[in-house]
Structure 1
């Protein structure tokens, strides 16, 4: 791992947190190196919920209203599950429905086994039954997506039947005392928008903002937690670098960076627009980032010489540091040793909270494949269970100085023999983070029912309820499902107590040093007792 700070290492890698790296990026854009904008609290300590530490967007509090999540008065910890409506209901006329019909440049189906989403497990029709399952899990919230292609299938034409159907879903959630958490873009957008260039074209941002305004006007009385984008970094990585998402390009670093920046800018524009609408002051708007660490499986091995540069590059293009930089300061710097830097300096974007999706880590062997060394445990995805990484991810996201929701975490485990281990190791890390003073406000398990997992089709099983194509409305609870329900029953009260104790012990500053990592490249595994 490259540990240099202000120069190129022997492998030609420039550390992304160094002054030299920042200078290169800013010089490329014709700007001067300026100090990063800081909030009142140091960026190197956990966020303590306090009215004095509210984050300001580019507009004043008087114009938009102070972030309602800041402060202790209404602190609560939410528990529930997360879905995207497309993965659980399908639908046509969007970038993914077209992608499923295509083939890769090598002639293979874009989806494993040539599968298509179809109606998937059909949450769209069976939502009342599924929401009862959410209630039985002792949940207090439910995260779902508002599918743009259902609401606006043609440019400027709103499908009122879909609008009313979403009202029915939200009413059902509220009737069951579940708080809806709505994602406005979960990898899926209308075909007409995609044909205009999607988010590659900055001129298309107003179309997304208009959709956000339409959705907010319609549902703001029922929804108070809004997410603009799910995992901008994953969409850029998988669509333009790795070839698993539409448009299935490989290694197009330039377009990946442009897509990432334009989604960040779309968030900033949508945030301002939604906050300016009636009800905007009383709503909270955030964005979701996927945290994942790549590492060399055997750093002591001879093969580490050629694996390490690839791992460093993967950590960089996974864009955790790029994302944190942008939302802390408005500065965007997309850099690779093999491509020109892409830079921009925008206003600091508005942000009321941040969602963190976390599953595990990727340990890469000499064949450039994901693997695990005992006692490491692999999931059905190419991830290794890493409970410590959840805590470390919360440390990283805390540098944004806004409340954090764990908007997705879970395990792909078709057999069901590793999900109890996930519960035993991941959940305590959340409590540890709250106890240590990190402002974590909720946890959502991915996902309720087995669904369409993008390029993997139906082969990957994250669900608490087992389902397969052809099962219709049948869902079978997995062995760990009642265990999670028991945890959810007690978790909100336990987290509230842990938070209260943390505030009593450290109301203004940390009782003991607890630094946050400066970069995803600086994260190292904790002691073995915290690793699975």
Structure 2
């Protein structure tokens, strides 16, 4: 009944089936044969240091943005209204953002030059259907060409159907308070999925449902009853959308990316994720900030001062391992990861965008070396953009002075060359020593890290500054 390992043969068989299922899903994402997609490794570091897996040849390197945040010339929507009335958290006018709507061919060229294989953006409902039942032919021509050019550049479209923005007429009918919004949303989603089916799209239904709820709570604003109604509506709509997408675009991977929320992560997951784990083809994770007993600076996210947060790169290692442990049948995809600077200025501690990128990907490689199945990674974002009320937080690989530069020039940061090199070399350099040392007692895995079992980093961590 038992093999040499002491585990029942049935349990070992179930484990093998689980690994095989995750491998198949990873292959569907990457488009690689199962043997390539399933094996996290390749070359490993040698010597006394910890092993880090090279990213496999079919790994999905990407960049991410969203329609409202970058397109400019935006039609009537909940967010154009929030900006106009200077709702809570809105400090800057929207203007034309970084004008992606008219500069997308050049921006796609920048992404292609990085070696990116995925380009994530959203197709904006407010632009496609500015009035109920009336679709804008010009908007559709723009999105048709955008998808065509993404594919022509050798990249795969990752399309978000809802990145927190809905048409003004939906706001007028009560937004998610009104049950009609679920049907209207699904009708629009089906139209878009049917239009872009069989083009290798990776579909995201709702971006960060927890943050969507929070933004509407404080910006719209909503009362607790409305918040509960919206949460229920998002869960029901995602579940219906998942089934619809698989019917209309068979084989296309579908998910709703979760925002990792440090001490609040249980609440964040309860927003939607916990109720839809059977309606996900991969776990999409947005990781920006962690916390430990030496670093609680993630609290600055509550005030929008993202540049004041001290990153915790090793937290991504624990987050990946935890989600893999919870859903071993599913591959993982880091849908968003990045670092804000204060209006483009260097950080006072000397920690650069290059440091941040390399440190985080080092820990991804550590997780993969230990068997975590990671299918892809998107950097947020290709360019600076409108961060929900302000241009001050700068996340872009290319920086853009949206408020002061009429030309909206894209100027490369130090991380452009770094990301290009990482993609070309399938990971950080051999023997890389992360800049940021792990903090003590991480919120991401307190049992392991508070008891002194944190993974041993290579010797010689250097501190910024």
Same fold per TM (> 0.5)?
yes
Measure how far apart 1:133 and its partner are: 0.7
Distance 2:148 2:297 in 1: 48
- Counterpart in 1 of 2:454? 527
Measure how far apart 1:140 and its partner are: 1.3
Structure 2 counterpart of 1:102, from 85, 93, 97: 85
The TM-score normalised by the length of structure 2 is: 0.76
Distance 2:22 2:445 in 1: 28
1:392 aligns with 2:325: no
Q: Number of aligned pairs?
A: 400
Residues 492/258 of structure 1: CA separation in 2 closer, same or farther (3 Å cut)? farther
**Where do residues 123-272 of structure 1 align in structure 2 (5 Å cutoff)?**
123-240=100-217, 243=218, 246-249=219-222, 252-272=223-243
1:459 aligns with 2:392: yes
- Counterpart in 2 of 1:484? 419
- Counterpart in 2 of 1:502? none
- Alignment gaps of 5+ in structure 1: 1-39, 56-65, 295-313, 329-347, 373-377, 495-516
Q: Deviations over 1:394-428 (max 9, x none)?
A: 12322233221101001002234421221231111
- Counterpart in 2 of 1:16? none
Structure 1 counterpart of 2:401, from 445, 459, 468: 468
Measure how far apart 1:458 and its partner are: 0.5
Residues 476/381 of structure 1: CA separation in 2 closer, same or farther (3 Å cut)? same
Distance 2:284 2:64 in 1: 12
- Counterpart in 1 of 2:261? 292
Distance 2:124 2:354 in 1: 33
- Counterpart in 2 of 1:402? 330
Q: Secondary structure at the match of 2:206?
A: strand
Q: Deviations over 1:235-256 (max 9, x none)?
A: 112332xx2xx3135xx44433
Distance 2:65 2:185 in 1: 21
Structure 2 counterpart of 1:412, from 336, 340, 343: 340
Residues 322/454 of structure 1: CA separation in 2 closer, same or farther (3 Å cut)? closer
Distance 2:448 2:179 in 1: 34
- Counterpart in 1 of 2:46? none
Q: Secondary structure at the match of 1:406?
A: strand
- Counterpart in 2 of 1:359? 288
- Alignment gaps of 5+ in structure 2: 1-12, 38-57, 430-441
Measure how far apart 1:220 and its partner are: 1.1
Q: Secondary structure at the match of 1:448?
A: coil
Q: 1:79–1:444: 8 Å Cα contact kept in structure 2?
A: yes
1:79 aligns with 2:12: no
Residues 48/200 of structure 1: CA separation in 2 closer, same or farther (3 Å cut)? same
Distance 1:266 1:119 in 2: 31
Q: 1:363–1:384: 8 Å Cα contact kept in structure 2?
A: no
Measure how far apart 1:229 and its partner are: 0.8
Measure how far apart 1:87 and its partner are: 0.5
Q: 2:62–2:379: 8 Å Cα contact kept in structure 1?
A: yes
- Counterpart in 2 of 1:434? 368
Measure how far apart 1:207 and its partner are: 1.0
Q: 2:62–2:117: 8 Å Cα contact kept in structure 1?
A: yes
Q: Deviations over 1:382-403 (max 9, x none)?
A: 5331112111221232223322
Residues 491/248 of structure 1: CA separation in 2 closer, same or farther (3 Å cut)? farther
Measure how far apart 1:97 and its partner are: 0.3
Residues 149/412 of structure 1: CA separation in 2 closer, same or farther (3 Å cut)? same
- Counterpart in 2 of 1:325? 274
Q: 2:22–2:331: 8 Å Cα contact kept in structure 1?
A: no
Distance 1:384 1:253 in 2: 32
Q: 1:226–1:284: 8 Å Cα contact kept in structure 2?
A: yes
